[in-house]
Amino acid sequence: IAGITQAPTSQILAAGRRMTLRCTQDMRHNAMYWYRQDLGLGLRLIHYSNTAGTTGKGEVPDGYSVSRANTDDFPLTLASAVPSQTSVYFCASSDSTGGANVLTFGAGSRLTVL
Partner 1 sequence: GQNIDQPTEMTATEGAIVQINCTYQTSGFNGLFWYQQHAGEAPTFLSYNVLDGLEEKGRFSSFLSRSKGYSYLLLKELQMKDSASYLCAVTADDYKLSFGAGTTVTVRA
Applying CB under 8 A, the residues found at the interface with partner 1 are 33, 35, 40-45, 48, 58-59, 90, 97-108
Nearer to partner 1, 14 or 99 (CB): 99
Q: b or e along 2-15 (b: 16 or more beta carbons within 10 Å of the residue's beta carbon)?
A: eebebeeeebebee
CB of 46 to partner 1, least distance (A): 11
Residue whose CB is less far from partner 1, 14 or 42: 42
- 41's CB contacts (< 8 A; 6+ apart) are none
CA nearest neighbour of 77 among 32, 38, 46: 46
Which residue number, 19 or 33, has a Cβ lying nearer to partner 1? 33
